[in-house]
Structure 1
Amino acid sequence: MNTKHSPIYYVLTTLIILTFLAPLLWATMSSVAPAPGTAQTEGFGFANYVSLANYGLGLPLYLKNSLVISVVCVILTILVSATGGYAFARYHFPGRNALFVLTLSIMMVPYAALLIPLLVWLKQIGLQDNLIGVALVLTLFQLPFGVFMMRNAFEAIPKELEEAALIDGCSSFGAFWRVMLPSVRPSIVTVGLFAYLAAWNDFMVALYLLSMQNAPLPLALVNMRQQVMGVIDYGATTAGVVVLTLPAIILFLALQKYYVKGFTAGAVKG
């Protein structure tokens, strides 16, 4: 089979790659380049990163807060999406289709409109200004996509595979855990990756629900200002953008093959 592409293909793909990489490359260069009003005023160096590390309550605290929110959101999203998607794909119960449509309808509601009611609810259950509370809110917004992906992924698995496991002595949960989940691993990775990116980069939910003591890195970056006339420290800010972006890029590149397979398996049916 001929796999050669025309020169136009390579030109277009190169332009697309450069379009996506240009902002990151600019931020990386700006974070180490000399600029007035920043910690790096002469020559190239990492003074802006030192300034970032010492900003406010310290970069390690903001990274820890972001990590806690992201990990909890990923775990909850995968757990609920996998079990919910399996139920929608394999079990028939009254109102199944209506409940599935209702779950998907959450995506049609701007999540900013729900933040005030969610703030009141979190206060009532004692999770106001709490990292776990923010993770719960972000999980709520990720579940429609996650359930949709997992339902389609489970529907693509032949029922005979599950029936064979039951015949061999597995319980329903055993078949789900030992046979079905490994079969949809790419879709699980895709759902988890989307949940991680949403939680790691979230700003608005944290702005509404958290104080600076519990602020994740995106919220801390927005508040990173010099105390003289409110001038923004662009050097430290661009350094923060690089620090915020690198984990997402590394994780995406490491899981890329699962991501592509998961999107293919979870998006062709439905």
Structure 2
Amino acid sequence: MTKRFPHTGKRLLGSILLTIMIVVFLFPIYWNLITALKPSTELLDYPPQLFPFHPTFEQLQKLFAAGDGVFLTYCKNTLIMSISTIVLVVLLSIYCAYGLAILPFKGSRLFFLLVLSVFMIPFQSLLVPLYDQLTKMRLFNTKLGIILIYSTFFLPFCVFMLKNSFSQLPIALRESAKIDGASDRFILWKIYVPLSIPSIISCIVYLFIETWNDFVLSFVFSSSDSVKTIQVGIMNFGKQRFQSDWGIINAGTLVSIIPTILLFLFLQKYYLQGLTTGAIKE
């Protein structure tokens, strides 16, 4: 008993610490939920109530009714830009990673370092040059312009993930397929891509979270409701002359976090597997 007690005590202490961490991380989500369900008369109660006495969908109704339903336009814009970015970045990353990992060429290591160098540049330092460039190209305040910016900043991470994932596959797979007369395109899409699904899903989850939750880039490079994303829309809804409408802000936030939570819950198995297999440094 005495020998097992310290082990039991450590487990108990670990469970307590883990419970505290769970509460700390989940409390903001819980607070967002109950605030979105409170009537306007209870939003600024002091002391604040941990449970809504009169739960209602008043804030959600205000959210979807504001501006003749413009919030749905924000959601549609964000979804279009997120999906477009995912498709573009994943396709480019697959081809680029395959070339760097399996078909090395003269200067490929330097090229890979140049791709990774984008990580070292804070995107905030490039906002003014990008603003000028998009204006000259007539892509300012367009979905295409924002999609191209998203792709530029998020592509290096996906190339890094997939290159390492492809590099870990046995080279004998390609050699055997080559002996049988298979082309590199066939080998890529029929062998390497299916075996790297976890890493590809990790890239998809990463891209969706980054684009869906982006605020700064969308705020800077959009000026009309037809282009603004959900995060910028929530901020616009919350602005009043002398105060913020916390009810509609929390309702919009609640709606915005649902897709990312659901996506991660359904794909977390592949996401974690992809991170462990595709993020190993050579």
- Tell me what 2:47 maps to: none
| 2:19 maps to 1:19 | no
1:63-93 deviation line (CA, Å, top 9, x unaligned) = 0011011111111111111111111111221
| 2:139 maps to 1:127 | yes
CA contact (8 A) 2:238 2:244 kept: yes
1:80-133 deviation line (CA, Å, top 9, x unaligned) = 111111111112212211111111111111101112222222223332111121
| 2:56 maps to 1:45 | yes
- Tell me what 1:221 maps to: 234
| 2:79 maps to 1:67 | yes
Alpha-carbon separation, structure 2, partners of 1:173 and 1:193: 25
CA contact (8 A) 1:67 1:200 kept: yes
Q: TM-score normalized by structure 1?
A: 0.92
Q: CA deviation at 1:143?
A: 1.2
Picking from 211, 214, 231, the partner of 1:199 is 211
CA contact (8 A) 1:122 1:133 kept: yes
Query: Aligned partner of 1:215: which letter?
Result: K
Moved over 4 A (4+): none
Secondary structure, counterpart of 1:100 in structure 2: helix
- Tell me what 2:3 maps to: none
CA contact (8 A) 1:135 1:199 kept: no
CA contact (8 A) 2:141 2:224 kept: no
Alpha-carbon separation, structure 2, partners of 1:225 and 1:193: 28
Picking from 202, 211, 230, the partner of 1:190 is 202
Alpha-carbon separation, structure 1, partners of 2:177 and 2:186: 8
- Tell me what 1:248 maps to: 260
Q: CA deviation at 1:37?
A: 8.2
Q: TM-score normalized by structure 2?
A: 0.88
- Tell me what 1:6 maps to: 11
Alpha-carbon separation, structure 1, partners of 2:230 and 2:175: 47
Range with greater deviation from structure 2 (73-82 or 5-14): 5-14
Structure 1 segments unaligned to the other structure (5+ residues): none
| 2:273 maps to 1:265 | no
| RMSD of equivalent CA atoms | 1.9
1:13-42 deviation line (CA, Å, top 9, x unaligned) = 22222222111111001100234386xx98
Query: Aligned partner of 1:145: which letter?
Result: F
Q: CA deviation at 1:150?
A: 0.7
Cα pair distance change 1:226/1:124, threshold 3 Å: closer
Count of matched residue positions in the alignment of Structure 1 and Structure 2: 264
Identity fraction in percent: 33
Picking from 52, 66, 76, the partner of 1:55 is 66
